[in-house]
Structure 1
Amino acid sequence: MRTSIYKSISDPKLFKQQLLFWSEQFREIIYLDSNDYPQNYSSYDCVLAVDAFTSIKTDYHNAFEDLKQYQQNTKDWLFGYLSYDLKNDIEQLQSQNYDGLEFADLFFFQPKKLFLLKGNQLEIQYLNMCDDEVEEDFEEISVQRLVFNNQKSAIKIQQRILKENYIEKVSKVLEHIHQGNIYEANFCMEFFAENAVINPIEKFIKLNEISQPPFAVFFKNNKHFLLSATPERYLRKEGEFIISQPIKGTSKRFLDASQDEQSKMQLAFDLKERAENIMITDLVRNDLSRTAQKGSVEVQELCKIYSFLQVHQMISTVTSKLDSQYSVVDVLKTTFPMGSMTGAPKISVMKIIEQLEETKRGLYSGAMGYFKPNGDFDFNVVIRSILYNQEKKYVSFSVGSAITSQSIPEKEYEECLLKAKAMREVLSEIKTN
């Protein structure tokens, strides 16, 4: 049983940071922040889950079935992630590229302590604990001082695939497209640093401040960290409704208002970007139909432009109603990995990009989120994110772009650099132009 206590918070923005600083003492942390971004589908402004009561950690073998059993047996709040390489559980695929991060393929935990903030109302849910402990923790959180360590350590960021090699690889993707093997491929590359020592919470706060996305995440599992400023939702379940919001299409923000509006309009009417988005929207429609009530799949928004601090994005919203014969984990399994991070058709693309990419994706382009006790869930797409193995002192972030028949390799490379800008700025402590 969970003990629930409700509090009014006078300064929610300050309290969110106090929550995050207080959480640092725990082995397992998931902190989710919507940054007050206006959106139609949102339950909370901020969520913090800490301290595992139970957990599941596994490789891809039989992972979705193991997760289904865990979710159905606990019938409680569960927080965690699905790595991209769970594709190997769904299809006859493999991942043999270099992995400097060594995250488990799947990890979820049932938190002892949970904080749910909406507006200035805070709900605290503790598992099998007394009211006194809740009050003691709340008092401790409320007096947290936000102290930053301003020591700057030199981090040398390297690029796994250099420009010349990138252009050569994208040209090979284009050959596959022109031969009719695939229609679109999301090709990704890694930036990394070795012997890197960072303060994960401090770097997350900086990344979040310069991006302010709706699905920000700070995640810790012992020595593994995710610092995510992702703008993309993978999948949400509300009752019988399933909501997916794939992103395809990116343009730069400008300080000058007229330049910025021009960039936004160019994205809205860019035929290549629209074609990318529509292709993936169609793939999502097909994926959702596998667990949907007949005739319930609908495109609510097609190629709508959303603006974030760093970039403008083209986002579509697809919904369905879940057929009662399917479990909540079935919905994830039949739509994973998300089409925005693969391309189409999925299986052929995943085989090709596995050959051309030089790094195992792991948690990058996977999903992070939670299940509620009633089976509702919400998961983001892990992009615009820094991953850190503290024990190995290995820092990594990856970026990608969608390659279609109209792609120009040099322009795709520039798009990757644009997407890398925020992470590079935060890690290198250097302001990029």
Structure 2
Amino acid sequence: MDRAYYLNAVNALKEHIRKGDCYEVNFCREQFLEADVNAPQHLFHRLNQLSPAPFAAYYKVHHRYLVCSSPERFLQKKGSRIISQPIKGTAKRAADPAQDAALQQALRSSAKEQAENVMIVDLVRNDLSRTAVQGSVRVEELFGIYTFPQVHHMISTVSATLDDRFHFTDAIRHAFPMGSMTGAPKVRVMELIEQYEKTRRGLFSGAVGYITPEGDFDFNVVIRSILYNAEQKYISFQTGSAITFYSDAEKEFEECGLKAKALLAALGL
């Protein structure tokens, strides 16, 4: 997806929002190259040295690899407690500490970023409520600001108590795909994603994690990730951002570039 297509698509999505089709769309673009990666595990280490992340993952099935430095949790279960921590809101880092603090504060007080975040928080609350004990859904933290090596992020935490009438897989089923990678309302924006994105996402914006024998689990959101097909010598990564009525297409394109910075550096580009 080149820059011209991206800008036109963002403006078309804003028109859908203006007409009332949706409120927010997570719109993604793919970058790819054909090349051989001799040791994908070394690529994983390089990426996580450049951009260490709490939900990093290395995944291999036959000739397909995932190299992931995700900062985002999709869903976690401990006992009967379930939490989701959607990310919506991004600001670049600065080398100068005073400037970096100013960028962090600007993110914290941005009405646009808060609007993006709270739309997804409401969607997550709704998703969790479908399998939760009535009245147990809580927003533990709203608009929390967290700093990573490449970016500042706005992260909210939503919790719920799983109703014992439901199996833990029901909580996953009703929450997936995660709202931070779709938008609101979820079904309509998935149709728009299918219409405007030029590449099927595949494992990107999915989830990788574990389930214990006791039924606890923890899953990430597959973002800040490189997908490698060793058979086809195909390297691919996608970046995206939340499109709302107030989005500036140029700035959204810049945000995609910011999120791609560590991925490109890990690939030596």
CA distance in 1, matches of 2:70, 2:35: 26
CA distance in 2, matches of 1:179, 1:363: 31
Match among 19, 27, 30 for residue 187 of structure 1: 27
SS in 2 for 1:272: helix
Identity across aligned pairs (percent)? 55
Match of 2:50 in 1: 210
- Structure 1 residue 195: Cα displacement: 3.7
Q: How does 1:34-433 map to 2 (within 5 A)?
A: 161-427=1-267, 429-430=268-269
CA displacement 1:269-322 (0-9 Å, x = unmatched): 011000000000000000000000010000000010000111000000000000
- Structure 1 residue 361: Cα displacement: 0.3
CA distance in 1, matches of 2:112, 2:9: 20
- Structure 1 residue 198: Cα displacement: 3.9
Bigger RCO of structures 1 and 2 (CA < 8 A, at least 6 apart): 2
The one-letter code sitting in structure 2 at the alignment partner of 1:208 is N
Match of 1:137 in 2: none
Structure 1, unmatched stretches of 5+, are: 1-160
CA distance in 1, matches of 2:188, 2:37: 39
**What is the TM-score when the length of structure 1 is the normalising length?**
0.62
CA distance in 1, matches of 2:262, 2:19: 36
- Structure 1 residue 235: Cα displacement: 0.1
Match of 1:52 in 2: none
CA displacement 1:28-49 (0-9 Å, x = unmatched): xxxxxxxxxxxxxxxxxxxxxx
The one-letter code sitting in structure 1 at the alignment partner of 2:19 is Q
SS in 2 for 1:248: strand
Match of 1:40 in 2: none
SS in 2 for 1:367: coil
- Structure 1 residue 402: Cα displacement: 0.1
Structure number with greater Rg is 1
SS in 1 for 2:171: helix
- Structure 1 residue 376: Cα displacement: 0.4
- Structure 1 residue 197: Cα displacement: 3.1
The one-letter code sitting in structure 1 at the alignment partner of 2:179 is G
**What is the TM-score when the length of structure 2 is the normalising length?**
0.99
CA distance in 2, matches of 1:199, 1:263: 37
The alignment of Structure 1 onto Structure 2 pairs a total of residues equal to 269
CA displacement 1:126-152 (0-9 Å, x = unmatched): xxxxxxxxxxxxxxxxxxxxxxxxxxx
